[in-house]
């Protein structure tokens, strides 16, 4: 069973979930620098308190 056949066998809901995941992954990749800076700042705020 090829990937195309597997995709065609999915329900419309499953297909939309796959597309949402793809879009979100692209958006995260585009904003990765900002996201990683904010994650680091958050961890530093909670774990580097003196």
pLDDT in tens, 18-35: 999 999 999 999 999 999
| Residue 37 in tokens | 């800076």
Backbone torsions φ then ψ of 19, nearest 5 degrees? -65, -35
Residues in the chain, overall count: 50
Domain boundaries, the chain: 3-48
At 29, list the tokens: 């990749």
Percent of all residues in the chain with a pLDDT value above 90, rounded to a whole number: 92
Residue 1 has a pLDDT of: 84
* Under 8 Å between Cβ of 39 and 31: no
């Amino acid at each position: 069973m090829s990937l195309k056949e597997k995709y065609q066998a999915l329900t419309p809901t499953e297909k939309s979930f796959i597309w949402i995941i793809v879009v979100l992954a692209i958006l995260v990749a585009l904003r990765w620098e900002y996201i990683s800076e904010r994650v680091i700042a958050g961890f530093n705020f909670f774990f580097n308190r003196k």
